[in-house]
């Protein structure tokens, strides 16, 4: 179980790095991230601060749909919840350290 948890954390860092590149370059967004970008612009909040709320909302909707339609909770476990909560903050940390390099590589 410990190795699965370590793999989860590593994968969250990898996903956060991909999300950071996607958001910073503004080339193309995956649909959920595009919605988060739009919400963050409307609310005038930073993307990494909005992402955990959006992701947690999607996890709650998935859990409710699972219970309503299947009669039991399927597909949502601790890894899903942890990912929803920590990818946004990891994006913020990566943004702090990597933003100058990304801007140098990709000039807007």
Residue-averaged pLDDT of the chain: 93
Confidence of residue 108 (pLDDT cuts 50, 70, 90): low
pTM score of the predicted model? 0.87
Res 99 pLDDT > 60 = yes
pLDDT digits 0-9 by tens, 30-66: 999 999 999 999 999 999 999 999 999 999 999 999 9
pLDDT score for 105: 84
Mean pLDDT of 61-89: 95
Percent of the chain predicted with pLDDT > 70: 99
Q: What is 18-81 written as a DSSP string?
A: HHHHHHHH-S---HHHHHHHHHHHHHT--HHHHHHHHHHHHHHHHHHHHHHHHSS--S--HHHH
């Amino acid at each position: 179980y410990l190795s699965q948890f370590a793999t989860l954390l590593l994968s969250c860092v990898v996903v956060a790095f991909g999300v950071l590149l996607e958001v910073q370059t503004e080339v193309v967004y995956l649909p959920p991230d595009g919605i988060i970008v739009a919400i963050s612009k409307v609310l005038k909040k930073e993307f990494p601060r909005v992402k955990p709320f959006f992701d947690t909302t999607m996890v709650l909707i998935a859990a409710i749909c699972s219970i309503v339609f299947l009669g039991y909770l399927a597909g949502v476990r601790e890894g899903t919840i942890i990912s929803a909560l920590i990818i946004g903050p990891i994006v913020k940390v990566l943004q702090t350290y990597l933003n100058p390099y990304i801007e140098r590589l990709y000039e807007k």
